Structure 1
Amino acid sequence: MATLLISSTRHAYLRASAAYRVSLMHPLALRPLSSVTSPSAAEVIADWKVAVLKKPVIVERDTIRPQPLQQLAMTLDKTTPTAQLFKKGAPLPVNWHHAFFPPMIGEADLGQDGYDMAHAPPAPFLARMWAGGGVEQNPSNLLKIGQEMMMKTKCTGVDIKQSRSGETMVFVSLEKLIENEHGWALTDRRTLVYMEKDEKRVNTSNPKNVKPRREADFSMAVHPTAILLFRYSALTFNSHRIHFDHEYANKIEDHPERAYDSIFKVCSRNTAVVPTMDADVVESYEVWVENPEGGLAMSSTVEVVQEAKA
């Protein structure tokens, strides 16, 4: 599997806020969209849309334990994880909450691609892609090792859009609210897009090879081996086959290789959130991933907010 380059640029500005945010957008390489869809497609998902938005909130509980963090560190090839980093009371590294709350779903309730079907639309919208997402963290209530957590998941929106060629797409937005004993600690938002399985579409190989807008101030090369992808999927109990099953990813989903998990890309980076007594100064990082040809594979924005004095 080819080496990827993770790069970033940095700039600072003022913002009246007190939170840590990561926004993540995967380029879908699709044609421009309108907000209109055909009556037939609307009829297929109309009842489902009403039902999924009324679904009760899914409540899960977990404990922030050192072992999954040590396993994630090994998966990310963090060669010098210290006992200090994973001791009780230490802050959970940014975005490493993905090592917890493994989906408790039996195989019979998974889709053919191995993914959770709890908020998926009905056939023929069976082709699934990551469209984007974001994380907002409360700097006044960081998650810490040893704490009990509760996560509440709900569907916050369903948007039906159509490309100029007539391809219908269903965008499903989910919100995962994580609390500890002190209240709200983190919100994880993500959007998935579903398309008709037999539609001919442009896959995530980014054939246009769009170049990044600027040169990076910092960069690092990552070699996403098959073992690395498998271990991350196993650690997060993610059975989505495009991440570890080459034959399925290539022959069924039409990807040239197994897909590098979008969430994993962000987990591989760490940015500290440090409350201070100064003004609300924000450091903003534009972060992106380049493919072996130098094309843009994924982009995101990371904002670090220093909490103002009360």
Structure 2
Amino acid sequence: MDVHLRDLRYFLAIAEELNFTKAASRLFISQPALSKQIRQLEDGLRVRLFERDRRTVTLTAAGQALLPVARELLGTWDRGQREISAAVAAENAVLTLGLSTSVGRGLLRGARTRFAEQRPAWHLRMRQVNWDDATAGLAGGEVDVALVWLPIPQQQAFRVRVVATEPRWVALRTDHRLASRAEVAFAELLDEPFLALPPQAGPLRDHWLALDQRGGRPPRIGAVVSNAEETFAAVEEGSGVVLLAEGNAAIYQRPGITALPVTGLPASELAVAWRPDDQRPAVRDLVEALASAAR
């Protein structure tokens, strides 16, 4: 049978994680969809690749034989994709910056100016990516550099440079009981319905729900939002409150919405991320431009 590279990538993720749930999170797909694809791969190959019970996942002899082959094939294909991307970028002199958030602070304007000074022949293209991909397109190879909030899924797979550390604020409706306050303690928000990122955002979803500061109390989810516009609409409708970084507070200051500081929470971190094997000088200059503009 002909095996798709996607199926090999799914197989490799499970073989490395030995956990279907973690592998599905890493691949940004649901666990049932992943299980279905693996069953189809096993049916096509007419072998069992994994032994699975309620607690453990292990490779069968066939799975162990497939593992180095899958790694080699995927590694070759990934190198080929990077070489193609590098060739196209060199020809067109374009870098794509992934964004999964509205960015205040004048950061993008400043970064454009600084990058243009360093690379006048290059064009910087922005790509907005919904929050179900917290890497802003970097994991899928859709962008060259990404501006992300930490932590992101599989963060160790990328080079990451923190460019801003900011307190967390909360956005809520102007008729909310806390809206007139100068600041609010996070403990006062524990019973509020919160707007949440999609589950695929993994640790970043947990960060903006402040899961580690809830003392084990599960959050109330008022709505799941995939981008800034959905967030604005959900706050205006009263679906819930939402945490944000101080530097983005001005974006939320619109009719019907206010934002105020939250005490009792660790700061948020805005970072530039890129692939460790991307050594192009233009990528380095874009990273420096973003860091400089953030300062």
Query: Do they fold alike, i.e. is TM over 0.5?
Result: no
Structure number with bigger Rg: 2
Higher strand share: 1
Higher helix share: 2
Provide TM-score, normalisation by structure 2: 0.24
